[in-house]
Structure 1
Amino acid sequence: MMGAGMSLGTEWDGPQVPVAGDGQQAATSALASAAYRDSPVEEIKKADNEWHQSTVKAGRIKLFRPNLGESFARAVADRVLAPGRAPLIQSFGSEPQFVVEHCLAANNIRRERDNRLTAVTVVCGLLFLPGLIVWLLVFQLRMFVAKRDDKRAGPLATALLLGVGLLAALFLVKMPFGGFWAWYARAAVVAPVLGWFWARRICESSARDLRARWDGLLSGTSVGAKVPEAVPRGPGQTAAEELRQSLARLTAEQQSNAVFYAGPKGILGMGTRWGAWQLAEDLVPADPGREIHPFRSWDVVRAIHDQLTLLERGPLNTGGFPKPSIRHWIVTPIGEKATAVARPEGTDVEAFQVKPHAIQDICNKQQFGSGDRHYLGVQWTLWDGQLVITMLITVTVLHQTLRIEVTGHALGPVNSLFTTKPEAPTKEVSKSLKPWETRTVKLPLVGTDEVVRLAARAPLTWYPPLLKWLGGSLVLPEPFGLRHAWADQPWRHRFMADDALRAATPVLRVVHSAAIKVLEENGVDTEKFGARSTFLSGNVQDPTPRKADLYEA
């Protein structure tokens, strides 16, 4: 492995908003919107795919459970920005820093809300603790009853709350004792209720802000992430400097040219391998009386690279390919069930980038046995970042056989869970005069139980470990990368599938043409190479996606 001489750029100009036209807005914004959502945390399980699953850890008390936005924003920020964190997988087709900044912004909005709710809880709750405990027990019992499958659960829960309310009113009127404690008991009954109304206004104001950002991100409007704590205002602000460095590290790691092959999962971040085409023939001199001119795998790869840069050009003015990203990748193998990766370190690596001379050495020398491998990649980010097509090329020479392998990888769209917009809570009720007809009634943006939940959680947000222990948390799939963790396969989307399949033919032909030209220049008989290339060229005209990383052996 190579290693850790790593220098990071330290200039950070604040929240980075994807620029219009960069082809990455939709996937990035969809992921960022999760930080503002208020649906149940269990919804994240709907975004699981075949190879990557999130885990929702249950807490001890349901009253303290987090919702999806709270758990997602906290989990992502902790995983990506924590000191000494494990390496991340690149998020091709998206901007992870943008997502993380929105997670921080969402945490800030909730922190401001929780600070105000904490003040309400202290004034109207802790000072009147007996009444607060009674009301919390009532709401906990109400939540337990309401979650039963019985059709009468809802009315029973409402009846329970009304019954307790009547008992409280009776207690206020028919106080069994007098003096100071009588007035304190009355206050203990009333203060938590008044605090609930106060807390409800705070919660609704915060919910409107969060939902507006959620909707704005998915509607394409400019929603900036306010992260003032990431901008140091003076030399003594070490926390801000550490956060800025963490964001800079995230950006540098996103640009790394080292990726990881995890068996059936494919290359992490690029999606699974759906097709492979191999051209392998012996190197025979074109002139039997002369030897082949010595050349290396890198010479063939460099020629292929030069020709791939011309892919967007064509004889007809028909649009064609957009300009692809063409890079040399170093691929490290890891176990199928590996939960962590280790990035290359050493003098041959700088800022997570394997240096060019090391890439050439790996290309020419590490073709058999253990160690990293070299691949030349051509990549398109399409459909606003919802489809990432990658074609990888590797050239090996073993004994007298030159092998050129082209493989196709496709990373599909972000799961539809992340693209749903907020909807105002409503319910259907029967009309009073026409019970056979129904009408839609708008519900409060923040329900009664939600106000109680937020107010109960607020004082504990100062110590997240305790809150996680009581309410539960979200565990992200490892090795973690924002984009591939919740990606669907593109094959159910007709046009996305067409784009992935259509890219294979021109890339394969350009690769073979460039390679055969190098062979001819170095005195190699290319007759068999040409025949095999012609066969593959015909075969790739109707490619069929398959799980090429699964070997049934």
Structure 2
Amino acid sequence: MTVESGYADIFGPQVPRTGDGGQTPTLALASAAYRDGPVEEIKKADNDWHQTTVKPGRPWATIFRPNLGEAFSRAVVDRMLGSGRKPLIQSFGAEPQVVVEHCLAANRIRRERDNKLTAVMVVCGLLFLPGLLAWLLVFQIRATVAKSENRQAGAFGTVLLVAVGALAVLFLVRMPFGGFWGWYARAAVVMPVVGWFGAKQICERTARDLRERWDSLLSGSSVGAKVPETVPTGPNATAAEQLRRSLAELSAEQQSNSVFYAGPKGILGMGTRWGSWQLAEELVPADPAREIHPFRSWDVVRSIHDQLRMLERGPLNTGGFPTPSIRHWIVTPIGENASAVSRPEGTDVEAYQVKPHAIQEICNKQQFGAGDRHYLGVQWTLWDGQLVITMLITVTVLHATLRIEVTGHALGPVNGLFTSKPEAPSKEVTKSFKPWETRTVKLPLVTTNEVVRLAVRAPLTWYPPLLNWLGGTIALPEPFGLRHAWADQPWRHRFMADDALRAATPVLRVVHTAAIKVLKENGVDTEKFGARSAFLSTQVQDPAPRKADLYDA
């Protein structure tokens, strides 16, 4: 599907828009593109329902392994902008387009670094290949040994490097042969070392730049993601045009009114269902001499929709609710362990949006058996996007029974891994003359092994599949959405939990009041509905969230 709307939002530096209060998760997720820790750290952000898979590369090619930022930014860009990608889950409380743009910016910064490192590798490595291979073999052995938990094995790696260095010096002094090949052999020993020094300077400059962006994002300075490759420079810039369209399509899918119910996982993107309250009574005429005036589920839903708009108003000036987002949702059921979703298609769908007439028809007719269902949702994005509270209302009429169900969903903050700021590398060492005391020693920002890793990877970055095969990559949890994949439960945060629980009672009362009003207007006896509503109003004050989707059957 081609989406033409929203192009004006993707040119130039991008900063999160503040209208929906989703800056914190957006910037936290975007900062992952600039991180330099081990790729295995992404596993720390897994939750009960979604796990990220770290795919290892070849055992003999650990020197090609990516770090967290490299693997994350590449995986996110491929998954969210790749050709033929599968549908995405909306990121409520965040802006996925901004995160993707930061991933593109991080890839561009690394690509510029890799271009320079490739030139160094060609001049100082490829032309002196025997020496380069010998040094790489030493570093590969050292890196493999360093992984051992045995301290003696770890010390052996350092001793090995020193010993090889001493042999190299001896080889230079006492060359076994002369002439051209003698000088070439000397150069083959020295030039890879010279190239390493040049590569170290390049790597350190880029590492400082990436860390500054990482820190700026988490400090709230909203550093812009410069993505010039999304701006076509001429009629033949097909790659830029395709990237621009992909970003616009991503933005359109984020605004879709179609969501997916995955059993105990709840509605994907909205979090698990923690509470459910149902009002179900028989439709009896208020006047036995007259029949009930015919009405449909949509009439009740429309009345509830109008009354929910008044939630931010109250009799007292005490702050209260911020303005909520009130939308009609089409909910599609999928399996708990489904690996993909399929969005509705056809003439009733345009730019990922189910049209209003189709929504009304689903609301009135698809209430029993197979098919999508209609829900009216009222949603708050709180705590600067860290908490998303969604209350969903559905109205069904079967035979002479009207049922109004209100369910609560809560999506918590992004995992703390994404909100951790960069720290300068350091270690604690024992003082020489005071062994009972320690001191902090600063370490180089880029280690020796890291320089070698980046220099070796650089020539292969032009073909990512080969690099992924050698060094490994990460597989994002499916069905994938940036926000819910790494969200924690809100119940560990006292105030977040309070906000989720407090929202239920007023919403439930507004829903019941609006529904009973429609029933009265259409000649329905509302005595039983009122009694049931009063009972539920008492029940909803129970402060304990429950796993409403886990049935004890």
Calculate the TM-score normalised by the size of structure 1: 0.98
On the 8 A contact 1:6/1:349 being kept in 2, the answer is no
State yes or no: 1:349 paired with 2:354: no
- Does residue 391 in structure 1 map to residue 401 in structure 2? no
**Residue pair 1:275, 1:544 contacting (<8 A) in 2 also:** no
In the alignment, does 2:384 pair up with 1:380? no
Q: 1:5 to 1:169 in 2, by over 3 A?
A: closer
Deviation at 1:145, TM superposition (A): 1.4
Contact persistence 1:16–1:97 (CA under 8 A): no
Q: Shift of the alpha carbon at 1:154?
A: 3.4
> How far apart are 1:346 and its partner, in Å?
0.8
Query: Cα distance, 1:8 vs. partner?
Result: 4.2
Give the alignment of 1:491-506 within 5 angstroms: 491-506=491-506
Aligned to 1:24: 22
2:3–2:252 Cα contact (<8 Å) kept: no
1:62-141 correspondence to structure 2 within 5 Å? 62-141=62-141
Distance 1:466 1:30 in 2: 30
- 8 A Cα contact 2:23 2:94, kept in partner: yes
Alpha-carbon distance between aligned partners in 2 of 1:197 and 1:323, rounded to the nearest angstrom: 57
Q: Give 3-state SS (helix, strand or coil) of 1:175's partner.
A: coil
> Which 10-residue stretch deviates more, 515-524 or 19-28?
19-28
Counterpart CA distance in 2 for 1:207 and 1:6 is: 37
* Aligned 8 A contact 1:6 1:352 in 2: no
Amino acid at match of 1:33: S
Structure-to-structure mapping, 1:455-474, within 5 angstroms? 455-474=455-474
Check conservation: 1:5, 1:347, Cα contact below 8 A. Answer: no
Q: Is the 8 A contact 2:277 2:406 kept in 1?
A: yes
The structural deviation recorded for 1:432 is: 1.4
1:124-181 CA-to-partner distances (Å, cap 9, x unmatched) read 1111000000100100111111111112343322111111100110111111111111
Does residue 161 of the first structure (1) align with residue 161 of the second (2)? yes
Contact kept? 2:412, 2:489, Cα under 8 Å: yes
Deviation at 1:438, TM superposition (A): 0.9
Shift of residue 234, structure 1, vs aligned partner: 1.4
Give 1:5 shift: 9.1
1:235 matched to 2:235? The reply is yes
- 1:19 positional shift: 2.9
> Take 2:367 and 2:461, find their aligned partners in 1: how far apart are those partners?
53
Q: Is the 8 Å Cα contact of residues 7 and 351 (structure 1) preserved in structure 2?
A: no
Deviation at 1:45, TM superposition (A): 0.6
CA contact under 8 A between 1:304 and 1:514: conserved in structure 2?
A: yes
Query: In structure 2, the residue corresponding to 1:483 is in which secondary structure?
Result: helix
Secondary structure of 1:462's match?
Answer: coil
Give yes or no for contact 1:6–1:350 (8 Å, CA) kept in 2. no
In structure 2, C-alpha distance between the alignment counterparts of 1:484 and 1:164, rounded to whole Å: 50
Distance 2:284 2:4 in 1: 47
Identity %: 81
- Give the one of 42, 55, 61 matched to 2:40: 42
Cα deviation for residue 11 of structure 1 reads 3.8
- Residue 21 (structure 1) shift: 5.8
Structure 1 residue aligned with 2:329: 329
Q: Structure 1 CA distance, aligned partners of 2:313 and 2:541?
A: 20
Looking at structure 1, the residues matched to 18 and 423 of structure 2 have their Cα atoms a distance apart, in angstroms, of: 27
1:236 Cα shift? 1.1
Q: Is the 8 A contact 1:429 1:438 kept in 2?
A: yes
Once the two structures are superposed, the pairs formed by residues 136-215 of structure 1 within 5 Å of their partners are 136-215=136-215
Instruction: Name which of structure 1's ranges 147-156 and 157-166 shifts more when overlaid on structure 2.
Output: 147-156
Counterpart CA distance in 2 for 1:178 and 1:50 is 66
RMSD: 1.1
CA distance in 2, matches of 1:148, 1:76: 32
Alpha-carbon distance, 1:193 to partner: 0.6
- 1:311 is displaced (CA, Å) by 0.3
1:55 pairs with 2:53: yes
Distance 1:5 1:124, change over 3 A: closer
Aligned length: 550
8 Å CA contact 1:12, 1:244 repeated in 2: no
SS of equivalent residue, structure 2 residue 461: helix
* Structure 2 Cα separation of the partners of residues 210 and 384 of structure 1: 25
Alignment deviations for residues 72-107 of structure 1 (CA, whole Å, 9 cap, x no partner)? 000000111112211100000000000000000000
**Contact 2:284/2:524 (CA < 8 Å) preserved in 1?**
yes
Distance change (3 Å), C-alpha of 1:340 and 1:450:
same
Please give the residue correspondences for 1:138-537 in structure 2 after superposition, counting only pairs within 5 Å.
138-537=138-537
C-alpha distance in 2 between matches for 1:483 and 1:441: 38
Confirm or deny: 8 A CA contact 2:10 2:248 kept in the other structure.
no
Distance 2:155 2:41 in 1: 26
Amino acid at match of 1:254: Q
Could you list the runs of 5+ residues in structure 1 that have no partner in the other structure?
Answer: none
Please tell me the residue identity of whatever aligns with 2:144: F
Question: Which residue identity is paired with 1:359?
Answer: I
Does structure 1 conserve the Cα–Cα contact (< 8 Å) formed by 2:258 and 2:354?
yes
CA displacement, residues 488-547 of structure 1 (integer Å, 9 cap, x when unaligned): 000001100000000000000000010001101111000100000000000111242111
The DSSP-based 3-state class of the residue aligned with 2:482 is coil
Which letter does structure 2 place at the counterpart of 1:482?
A: L
Cα displacement (A) at 1:12 = 4.1
Note closer, same or farther for the CA distance 1:498–1:298 as it changes in structure 2 (3 Å cut): same
Counterpart amino acid of 2:53?
A: T
In 2, Cα distance between equivalents of 1:303 and 1:325: 16
Decide whether the 8 Å contact of 2:14 with 2:226 is kept in 1: no
- The letter for the 1-side match of 2:333 is P
Question: Residue 19 of structure 1 aligns to a residue in which SS?
Answer: coil
* Structure 1: distance between partners of 2:329 and 2:15: 27
- CA 1:505 to 1:480, structure 2 compared with 1: closer, same or farther past 3 Å? same
Q: CA deviation at 1:335?
A: 1.0
Which residue in the other structure is 1:33 paired with?
Answer: 31
Question: Are the aligned partners of 1:327 and 1:376 in contact in 2 as well (CA < 8 Å)?
Answer: yes
> How far apart are the structure 1 equivalents of 2:426 and 2:334?
49
CA distance in 1, matches of 2:418, 2:4: 35
SS of 1:107 mapped into structure 2: helix
For residues 9 and 451 of structure 1, the distance between their equivalents in structure 2, rounded to whole angstroms, comes to: 41
Question: Structure 1 counterpart of 2:304, which letter?
Answer: I
- Name the TM-score, length of structure 2 as normaliser: 0.98
Asked if the contact 2:27/2:218 (under 8 Å) is kept, the reply is yes
